[in-house]
A and B are shown apart, each in its own frame.
Chain A
Amino acid sequence: MLKSKTFVKKTRSGGIMKIVREHYLRDDIWCGSEFCTECKQDESVLQKDACIESNLCVFPHYLLPDTNVVLSQIDILEDPLIKNVIILQTVLQEVRHRSAPIYKRLKDILHDKEKHFYTFTNEHHSDLSYVVETYIEREPGESANDRNDRAIRVSTKWYSDHLKNARTEEGLRIVLLTNDRENKDKSEEAGLLTYRCEEYIKSLIANPELVDRLALTNDDKNDITSSKVLFPEHLPLSRIQSGIKSGTFLQGTFRASRDNYLEATVFVHGEGDESTEVLIQGLQNLNRAVHQDLVAVEMLPQNQWVGPSSVVLQDEGPKDDDVTGDDEEEKLKGAVVGAGPRKPTARVVGIIKRNWRPFCGMLFLSQIKEATRHLFTPADRRIPRIRIETRQASTLAGQRIMVAIDGWPKHSRYPNGHFVRSLGCAGDKETETEVLLLEHDVPHQDFSQAVLSFLPKMPWSITEEDMAVREDLRHLTVCSVDPPGCTDIDDALHCRDLPNGNQEVGVHIADVSHFIRPGNALDQEAASRGTTVYLTGRRIDMVPELLSSNLCSLRCNVERLAFSCIWEINEKAEIIKTRFAKSVINSKASLTYAEAQMRIDDTSMNDDITKSLRGLNRLAKILKRQRIEKGALTLSSPEVRFHIDSETHDPIDLQTKELKDTNSMVEEFMLLANISVAQKIYEEFSECALLRKHPAPPPSNYDILNKAAKSKNLVIHTDSAKALADSLDAARVDNFPYFNTLLRILATRCMMQAVYFCSGMDSDFHHYGLASPIYTHFTSPIRRYSDIIVHRLLAVAIGADSTYPDLMDKHKQSALCNNLNYRHKMAQYAQRASVAFHTQLFFKSRGIMNEEGFILFVRKNAIIILIPKFGLEGTVFFENKNKPSPKLVFNDEATTLTVEGHTFNMFDKVKVTISLDASNIQHQKIRMSLVEPVIPGVSVAPSEPNEPEAKKAKLDH
């Protein structure tokens, strides 16, 4: 049956439009219950045995939550205990409209077979013979919300009546959960069984801990907090919007300061490049904004502007609401005096969009023994403490837990939240890995059923059709060279002599885009993950393992689909001809870098593989030389590898990564392939090619490098990449071989971040580091989504695949690039955090060690030291909280620091003791103290190693 839905809407240009949509009602939407005999469903989701033990409902029942219950209590719904829930389409749509993350979580629950959640498409449902419809039209004078509430009631009623026919003796009932009083009254009037969410959850007999996960609703909040108003009221959204339009308010992203909880900056997005930062200072002005919120700010008059304070202030813990405020403000004012130049200062007047997510952290127990309200300290220092209510505080102490914020009333010093889940014991490897994944927003859940359903069926083999459209390269001597233990092999190489004296070199990349088709759930998941994240001892795949480690992995002696880039190259390593083809290959060997190196070096070996490797190696060396002549940079950053104990997975040794010839051999051909592909796709799609650029850094970035070089009487030319590369090569100091590496480490820090972009949205394509006018990523589609897009573009360009609209839409491409850049950045941070954590574990097991290191930077009150052996960086502070500080003289020009008569220069060799500081269990860090040079009162005596026992005892607190 056809109905039409009519509504009026305001268009972006300010016009008013009437929109009419067709709306079909159908009689083949089933109720989903096992009880029902009328509905002809294939599969019933809602169980017969729908018993959750409850004081209120002793009979089997299905829960039917309204929208607000879903939005606020999604954590409860996610609990495995809650089963047999009916989610109405009305609710689903409203949730989707109001909160994308909660919608995603709800969808995940709905997909989970164990949860027995059923979506009832009530908006399209009409009973047989059209007697009862659960679709209702909005009535005159009814608001959209009221209409939806009514729709929920009508559907509840329908369910009650419908299942009444099907069951009698079991006594099954439908329970409507709503926190809206009016809705509750109305539905009770209609004879429906209705409870408030809290009421129902508290009645559950078996699982009292579920109560902790209840989000606080408005009614409850008042009990917790005192009546004194601490913060100014937030302005309503309409006022904010008109204020932003008129220019009285500015809109921006709130960024809390890491070091000072009373300070933040707001990043105001201007037109084009005109983005500015304004300073916010003081609790009142911060006005309950939380890191990453989208806020509206009002500039303060210029005479109230302040400079950013240079002190570190940390919120010291729970205080009564009554006494807060004034004295804290005083503390800040005291600190501000003498601070740097004044900056534009503003105050927060309203929140446009909260960007709350569940936060990881630890519980800070209340001093009162029986108290159920405790403060939670997030791991991220930029997030304020959160007040939660829990009865299991003693169990949760010492654990990493997740907490979600529910709200921040204006008379509460801290936001209110609720416990979501426990991640495990603080300090455990699994727990900490989980924490760093969550804190870096790395999607790491198992792949959903929807995603897995798009995987090829096993056993998989190459079909006749595949062979027909692909080039058969199985006869070639292809081999892969990778780090040891690599299971996701995405590239393989071959090299052979051609009759005309030239050589044919092929780079074969796993054809991931053959398996991941545009737009399906698998593709969307991969696009959202963006990259595989490699942590120490763990890999978070971008695509399911079946693809990453099997079907797409170019392992030896199996037939695999590949995307090949094949060049004809002459003696001087000049490219004569390039072609691309989808192919089938059969790798003859999967080698490690060391194995490949051994084959090349071993003159007695003369098989095809070795010959091929030697040819590649020779060409790679020429290519590398040419590249460096063009001005490509060889930079350095210390990379650390752990030797992991195979049993306990604890790190037993640390070493910096070693580079062999073969590493650079593979790298050289990957670069060549990437550049060839970039040229091809840009030629073909000048508007929508996905490329990668590396902008040249602004000259001011090189200040630190220049100063460092000057201290050794060297000059570094930074006008071009070529000049930089040359002067880095020339910068050598006798008897100090590590100096050059140190300088390169510094140079690396001056660089900009390389980013993906869409060619139609940008004009500067240059890749500074590689000195290439154009570059992209083609060679690792298993672990990078950008490469999948590039594969698709290239496939279209050579006519091997068809295109689809999103691929050709430069705005969508650009949005995708933004996500990829964000994911790559977060993956890098997560990787670093993981290395840092494992370094800590390593030092925890080793106790205190004495090591040699070099000074990397000199700061006002500290020196930063790099230990080459571990690639570890640490800070030696010369100021101490409890002791009087030694006499410090800092010379900004020469970057030297004189401590009690001893002057520290950059690159000085020092000796330090390394130990683990576990005093703050959430933020354990490596502590270094100076051993040599000996400065009385500053340096410490070299400690005896082998005292890990004592250390351990301290850690187990």
Chain B
Amino acid sequence: MSLVDVITRIDALIKKYEKYSAEKPEAAAKSKDPFNNAYMEVLERINELTLKSDENGAEKSRAIKATLNAELRRAKAALLEDQVAKLDKLVRKGKSVTQETVASRQALVHEVRKAVEGIPDGVHSPRKPFRAAGPGTSLGGGKQPVTIDAEKRDHRMDKNPEYYQHSEASLQFQKDFEAAKARQDKSLDTIDQGLTTLRGIGEAMGETLRQQDVVLDAIHERMDEVTGQLKTNNMKLKGMVTKMRSTRNFCLDVVLICIILGLVLYLVAMFKK
């Protein structure tokens, strides 16, 4: 039984015995104030969505994460559209609503809206759509055009005439940068040497294999020849052995031996007399 089957059966069983379930969803304390009820509901929903967004954050697979985030965004949008809108309408409803209550309720609604929008749903910065290189696209990605204006002065130098001079910090930074670059170059050289060596080894291996391949082909051919010769020899031997052991020769031998024995016995008998 697979996991899916187990889950389906469990669901069926729960449905069947739902009425006996002790966990009845507690009816929220229905106060007389529809605004408060709706407000409580919205707060609960916000909590649920926040929990969900935390779970999404823990998801490792990017694809699944994207799907879950999309669902979350849909839920947020739905919440904003339906329930927060409802809340808005209910601001003025209810008994004994004063201006202050209206103002405070509106503030609450505003906070709720901000809270819903604040639920993290994986959207970071507006990502630019990937455009295939075409005649209209620029390599810089559509940045601001760079202009050099020889006549217009650079105002950064007005406040601080030393703006473009080297300071100690900048000199140090440059030294550090060059040292780091030198180290990197050295490492890259080592890698280069290593790779060249590996390539040499790989090529040598390939060539050896090619040589051996030729030799193996020659061996293969010779083996075929030898096998053929062996088969011929075996058949010849078989024929020869069959001829030697043929029944006719065997009977002939037996008969001749009997005749010789008979002769010998006859001679012995003769001598005995």
A and B bind: no
